[in-house]
Structure 1
Amino acid sequence: MPVPSLLAVFAHPDDESLSAGGVLARQASAGARTAVVTATRSADTARAGELAEALRLLAAGPPRMLGYADSRVPHSAPGRPRWCDAPLDEAVGELVAHLRDFRPEIVVTHDAYGGLTGHEDHVHTHRVTVLAAHAAGLERLYPEAGQPWQPKALYVSTHPHQAVRTWGAHLALAGKALRTVPDEHVTATVDVTPWLDRKIAAILAHRTEVTRGAAPGLVAALTAPERHHLLGTEYYTRHDLPPQAPPDRSPPLNRPQRHTEAVTPCRRGAPH
């Protein structure tokens, strides 16, 4: 049976490796088509080059960049609006074009709370991706974006409350708050330890973030056992997308169930 194709949509270069690097590597190793859409940074920046290297390590193809500015770093895409300020209809239409071009069976993105750090760009990426995943299959929406294509399922990368015990001390040292969900909201717990070396290499390919002590820098400072403990499992919540195949035919990551989440508005904060 063919392995379902997967398109990941994340806010910043490095989010794809930190949040879903294991699943991207796993799907590619099994022969699936995989790709990543990144909402922010222009294609001529250093971080775009680092993203290309990370995706090469994950076998996820060349970058697909929407080219908006990081909401906390406006100079990251000169002349373009901040991601959170972009017209919503325009942003959704751009992502619909990528969905119809790549035609994935599974879409992966941030959860509605912005992951552990709650970055407003993460939250907005969730909002845009949910809308685009529904719109992509509707022929009367964004007809200029290509032939309709309906993904079977949307998985949001998340962390259960139990992750506080795992990540809490490390993020507390970095002065970051933790945003997690009740454990029962997690519907796919994926052991990615067989692909952990590739995931770590992809994270560390984001050298700019390693140097400035962002999340890849925290990973760089971990011991091998700590990396295994903190990064060897990925957590997801599944959203089914209409029209959908019967439940037993929809491609699972790991015995998925249905769950919906609220969306919170964009907020300004410290640089990502």
Structure 2
Amino acid sequence: MELPDVLGVFAHPDDESLSAGGLLARHAAAGARTGVVTATWAEGTHRVPELAGALAELGAGAPRLLGYADAKVPESAPGADRLVDVPVEPAVRQLVAQLRGFRPGWVVTHDAYGGMTGHPDHRQTHRLTLLAVQAAALPALYPELGDPWRVRRLLLATHPDGASRELAPLLLRPGRTAYTVPDAEVTALDVSPWLDRKLAAVFAHRSEVERGALPGRLAAATSADRTRMAGTEWYQHHPLPGTPPAPGGLTRQSRETGAGKTD
């Protein structure tokens, strides 16, 4: 089955692997081009080599960095603006350049909540990506950045209410609020055939494993819990101007495996 090229846009190194590592590995294995834009952390910081290792595991090319600082980690990009503080115009322009350069069929990013944790960098990345995807399709905007490009599908990595009742204790630290969406709005993608690649990418983020963040909790989990925590990915399909509606988000046939005809 031919699958479209995919560009991920995520806030931090490791978000790509945790949120969409299975999707990216799936498309790369089918021969599609895949890539990842990471909004925070800059060249010369310790997490960029980890990101490069993770992307190699997923078949997603070299890091594409916007170079902003993590909201909570100023040393992630010394001297740079925090992503949450950056003016919209320059950040959208950077993303339009990436979109027109890569020309993906699909884009995947965070949902409006910023994923289950509601991280402010995730929410900002969501907003900027939605603006950039629409701007990239308009010839009158940023003509100096190349020919316009219309993405066919925009997917938002998310967690449904139902599954999250079981998964939140595994994915979140005690006392954290889980931000989730109604089950009816979500398509489930079984990524168990690519779970080894996804986990290898997650574990490439060694500093996150060592500090006990979610990659560390996955590393310490049993095989069964790893499958529960990372073997399914969930996406919302975000409607775009000029594209047909696509119930089910990933495909027209299967809400469980992603099998069937793709756009």
Question: Aligned partners of 1:239, 1:161: CA distance in 2, in Å?
Answer: 18
Q: TM-score, normalised by structure 1?
A: 0.89
Question: Aligned partners of 1:154, 1:22: CA distance in 2, in Å?
Answer: 16
The residue that corresponds to 1:242 in the other structure is 241
Question: Aligned partners of 1:137, 1:14: CA distance in 2, in Å?
Answer: 28
Mapping for residues 65-214 of structure 1, pairs under 5 Å:
65-171=65-171, 173-186=173-186, 188-214=187-213
AA matched with 1:19: S
Q: CA deviation at 1:177?
A: 2.0
Assess if the C-alpha contact under 8 Å between 2:28 and 2:58 holds in 1: yes
Q: TM-score, normalised by structure 2?
A: 0.92
AA matched with 2:222: T
Q: Secondary structure at the match of 1:65?
A: strand
Question: Aligned partners of 2:248, 2:145: CA distance in 1, in Å?
Answer: 25
AA matched with 1:52: A
AA matched with 1:125: T
Q: Secondary structure at the match of 2:130?
A: helix
AA matched with 2:215: P
AA matched with 2:167: W
Question: Aligned partners of 1:163, 1:235: CA distance in 2, in Å?
Answer: 10
Q: CA deviation at 1:50?
A: 0.2
Question: Aligned partners of 1:17, 1:171: CA distance in 2, in Å?
Answer: 14
Q: CA deviation at 1:118?
A: 0.4
Q: CA deviation at 1:196?
A: 0.2
The residue that corresponds to 2:215 in the other structure is 216
Deviations 1:108-153 (A, max 9, x none): 0000001010000000000000000000010111122221101011
In structure 2, runs of 5+ residues without a counterpart are: 254-263
Assess if the C-alpha contact under 8 Å between 1:152 and 1:251 holds in 2: no
Assess if the C-alpha contact under 8 Å between 2:237 and 2:248 holds in 1: no
Question: Aligned partners of 1:193, 1:3: CA distance in 2, in Å?
Answer: 18
AA matched with 2:156: V
Assess if the C-alpha contact under 8 Å between 1:156 and 1:236 holds in 2: yes
The residue that corresponds to 1:226 in the other structure is 225
Q: CA deviation at 1:63?
A: 0.5
Assess if the C-alpha contact under 8 Å between 2:84 and 2:124 holds in 1: yes
Question: Aligned partners of 2:81, 2:94: CA distance in 1, in Å?
Answer: 14
Question: Aligned partners of 1:6, 1:173: CA distance in 2, in Å?
Answer: 31
Q: Secondary structure at the match of 1:108?
A: strand
Distance 1:30 1:171, change over 3 A: closer
Assess if the C-alpha contact under 8 Å between 1:17 and 1:199 holds in 2: yes
Question: Aligned partners of 1:117, 1:173: CA distance in 2, in Å?
Answer: 10
Q: CA deviation at 1:251?
A: 11
Question: Aligned partners of 1:209, 1:172: CA distance in 2, in Å?
Answer: 14
Q: CA deviation at 1:254?
A: 2.8
Calculate the aligned-residue CA RMSD, in Å. Answer: 1.8
4+ residue runs of structure 1 moved beyond 6 angstroms?
none
Question: Aligned partners of 1:171, 1:7: CA distance in 2, in Å?
Answer: 25
Deviations 1:221-261 (A, max 9, x none): 111011111211100000132222x457x9962339xxxxx
Deviations 1:174-225 (A, max 9, x none): 5432111111111x21000000000001001000111111111111111101
Assess if the C-alpha contact under 8 Å between 1:171 and 1:177 holds in 2: no
AA matched with 1:240: P
Question: Aligned partners of 1:207, 1:136: CA distance in 2, in Å?
Answer: 35
AA matched with 1:255: R
